[in-house]
């Protein structure tokens, strides 16, 4: 089963890029057969991507929108967007490392990375750099700018 994950900034206005995100997700489903979409649901980019996968489920009911939890003992409420939630870490880590370790596991599990990384700092940037090191296929919403 092919999967994709999303990395973008928490506080950036991604509204102008909604169509680009939808096109990338649709292509992943139709052309590449991606079924699982992993989402940490931590900021504006994650929310936009969760909404788009949720809306596309009407056309592609086989796809799964998966909420990835960073904290073992802090379950997030499963919003309307998600089919299920998972905790990817094999062991508990100190809270200050939970998100970065979870991001690394998302990169390792995913076949495709949908990137909304605009700035060269922060957790999303670090996750994208890790994905590049692991030679993951990165689909950048800012590619033609």
d(CA 145, CA 123) in angstroms, rounded, equals 22
Question: Predicted confidence band at 74 (pLDDT cuts at 50, 70, 90)?
Answer: low
d(CA 75, CA 87) in angstroms, rounded, equals 9
DSSP string, 69-89: ES-TT-PPP--TT-SEEEE--
Q: What are the tens digits of pLDDT across the range 107-137? A: 999 999 999 999 999 999 999 999 999 999 9
pTM across the whole model? 0.93
Give yes or no for residue 35 having a pLDDT over 80: yes
Domain spans, the chain = 2-140
Q: What is the pLDDT of residue 73?
A: 63
CA dihedral 128, 141, 25, 69 (to 10 degrees): 40
CATH class of 2-140: alpha beta
Question: Predicted confidence band at 91 (pLDDT cuts at 50, 70, 90)?
Answer: confident
Higher per-residue confidence, 76 vs 37? 37
Span 68-95, average pLDDT? 82
Q: What are the tens digits of pLDDT across the range 99-110? A: 999 999 999 999
Q: What is the pLDDT of residue 107?
A: 98
């Amino acid at each position: 089963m092919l999967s994709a994950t999303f990395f973008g900034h928490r506080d950036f206005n991604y509204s102008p890029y909604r169509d680009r995100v939808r096109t990338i997700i649709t292509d992943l489903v139709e052309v590449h057969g991606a079924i699982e979409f992993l989402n940490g649901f931590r900021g504006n980019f994650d929310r936009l991507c969760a909404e788009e996968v949720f809306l596309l489920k009407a056309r592609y009911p086989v796809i799964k929108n998966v909420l990835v939890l960073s904290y073992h003992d802090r379950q997030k409420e499963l919003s309307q967007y998600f089919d299920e939630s998972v905790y990817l870490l094999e062991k508990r880590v100190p809270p200050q490392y939970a998100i970065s370790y979870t991001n690394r596991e998302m990169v390792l599990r995913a076949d495709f990375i949908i990137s909304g990384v605009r700035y060269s700092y922060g957790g999303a940037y670090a996750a994208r750099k890790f994905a590049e090191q692991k030679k993951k296929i990165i689909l950048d919403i800012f590619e033609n700018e």
